[in-house]
C-alpha cells in the first residue's frame, strides 16, 4: 500500500512493533541518524514479510531471514548496506525477545564485513596539531571542549550531545554519562588537561553562545543544543586547518583515544569501562588496530 508515493505497512501489528522498536532504541541512546536508519531497515523487512504473506511473527520460518538476505543481494546492494540491514534485524530481534515476543532469528545470520571497513585513527601527533589549530575565540574554547569530550573522554556522539552542565564534575575530575547505550550510565575520568579545557569553555566560551536558558554543555550560536552533523563538519575543518589529511569524525576521536590508551599500556578491561562497552569483545578490536599501526 502507498500513501503519497511512500510504502506503508498495512499490518496494524507490524506498525505497532515498528513504533515500539523505534521508541526503544531512542531510549537506548542511539544517535538520531542511526534511529532513522534502523527504523527504515526494519520497515522494509516488515514490508517484505507482508509481500510474502507472512503476517505473524510465529509464521516466520528459520530460513526466512536468510531468504531476506538473498533478496537484498538480488537488489545489488553493497556489502556494507546489506550488513546494516541485517544488523538492524538482529537488534529488532533483541527488542522482540526483551518484550517477550517470539524470536525471529532461529539460525545464525552471517554478516560479511566489507574489505574497506576501516576505523580512521588519528595519531597522537595529529591530535596535537588539531588542538593547535584552535584559537582564543569563543569558537576556539568550544572546539577544545569538543576535543576534550570526544577524544579526552572518548564519548559517543550522542553521549556528548546529551551532556548537561551538572554532569561535569570539575571537583572530582569526572564526567557523568547519563544516556549511554542500553540505559548504561557511567563516570568517565578527566585528565587535568581535559578538565582545564572544559572549565575554560564553561567560564569563557559557553556564556558567549548562551542566548537562552539551556542545560546542555555543547550549544550553538543560538544557545541551543548542537547536532552531531555540525560538530563533525567543525572537526573536519579543524583537521583541514591542521593539515591532517584524513576524513575524521567524532567517532574517529573515540577510536583514537582507545588505541592510544592501549598503546600506553592500559588494561583492556579498564578501556572497556572507559568507553562504556558491554562486552570485552567489542574493545578487543583495538588490539588489532594497535598491531596494524
CATH code of residue 84: 1.10.150
What confidence tier does 291 reach under pLDDT thresholds 50, 70, 90?
very low
Nearest-10 crossing angle of helices 79-98, 12-27: 90
For residue 252, count other CB atoms closer than 10 A to its CB: 21
List the strands of the sheet with 174-177, edge to edge: 168-169, 174-177, 186-189
pTM of the entire structure?
0.64
Does residue 110 fall inside a structural domain? no
Of the CA atoms within 13 Å of residue 121, those in its CB half-sphere come to 22
Considering the domain architecture, whether residues 129 and 93 belong to the same structural domain is answered as: no
Considering the domain architecture, whether residues 158 and 260 belong to the same structural domain is answered as: yes
Considering the domain architecture, whether residues 93 and 148 belong to the same structural domain is answered as: no
Considering the domain architecture, whether residues 190 and 288 belong to the same structural domain is answered as: yes
Residue 286: the pLDDT is: 59
Considering the domain architecture, whether residues 23 and 132 belong to the same structural domain is answered as: no
C-alpha cell at 148: 576534550
Does residue 103 fall inside a structural domain? no
Considering the domain architecture, whether residues 51 and 128 belong to the same structural domain is answered as: no
- DSSP code per residue over 80-96: HHHHHHHHHHHHHHHHH
Does residue 109 fall inside a structural domain? no
Q: Is 27 helix (H, G, I), strand (E, B) or coil?
A: helix
Identify the domain containing residue 156 by its residue range: 124-292
Specify the CATH number for the domain of residue 225.
Answer: 1.10.443.10
Mean pLDDT value across the chain: 86
Considering the domain architecture, whether residues 277 and 206 belong to the same structural domain is answered as: yes
What is the total count of domains within the chain? 2
Active-site residue numbers? 156, 181, 251, 254, 277, 286
- List the single range of 117-121, 208-212, 250-254 with lowest mean pLDDT: 117-121
Residue owning grid cell 538482529: 90
Considering the domain architecture, whether residues 88 and 133 belong to the same structural domain is answered as: no
Does residue 274 fall inside a structural domain? yes
Amino acid at each position: 500500500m502507498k500513501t503519497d508515493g511512500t510504502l506503508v505497512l498495512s499490518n496494524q501489528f507490524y506498525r505497532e512493533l515498528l513504533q515500539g522498536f523505534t521508541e526503544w532504541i531512542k531510549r537506548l541512546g542511539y544517535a538520531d541518524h542511526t534511529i532513522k536508519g534502523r527504523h527504515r531497515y526494519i520497515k522494509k523487512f516488515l514490508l517484505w514479510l507482508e509481500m510474502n504473506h507472512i503476517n505473524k511473527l510465529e509464521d516466520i520460518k528459520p530460513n526466512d531471514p536468510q531468504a531476506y538476505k538473498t533478496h537484498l543481494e538480488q537488489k545489488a546492494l553493497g556489502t556494507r548496506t546489506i550488513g546494516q540491514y541485517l544488523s538492524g534485524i538482529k537488534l529488532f530481534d533483541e527488542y522482540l525477545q526483551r518484550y517477550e515476543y517470539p524470536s525471529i532469528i532461529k539460525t545464525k545470520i552471517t554478516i560479511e564485513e566489507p574489505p574497506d571497513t576501516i576505523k580512521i585513527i588519528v595519531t597522537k601527533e595529529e591530535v596535537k596539531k588539531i588542538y593547535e589549530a584552535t584559537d582564543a575565540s569563543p569558537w576556539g574554547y568550544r572546539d577544545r571542549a569538543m576535543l576534550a569530550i570526544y577524544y579526552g573522554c572518548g564519548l559517543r556522539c550522542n553521549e556528548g550531545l546529551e551532556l548537561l552542565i551538572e554532569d561535569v564534575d570539575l571537583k572530582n575530575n569526572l564526567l557523568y554519562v547519563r544516556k549511554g547505550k542500553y540505559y548504561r550510565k557511567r563516570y568517565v575520568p578527566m585528565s587535568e588537561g581535559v578538565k582545564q579545557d572544559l572549565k575554560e569553555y564553561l567560564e569563557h566560551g559557553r556564556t558567549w553562545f548562551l542566548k537562552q536558558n539551556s542545560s546542555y554543555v555543547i550549544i550553538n550560536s543560538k544557545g541551543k543544543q548542537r547536532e552531531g552533523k555540525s560538530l563533525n563538519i567543525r572537526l573536519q575543518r579543524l583537521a583541514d586547518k591542521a593539515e591532517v589529511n584524513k576524513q575524521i569524525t567524532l567517532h574517529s576521536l573515540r577510536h583514537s583515544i582507545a588505541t592510544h590508551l592501549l598503546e600506553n599500556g592500559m588494561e583492556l578491561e579498564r578501556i572497556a569501562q572507559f568507553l562504556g562497552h558491554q562486552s570485552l569483545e567489542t574493545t578487543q578490536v583495538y588490539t588489532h588496530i594497535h598491531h596494524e599501526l
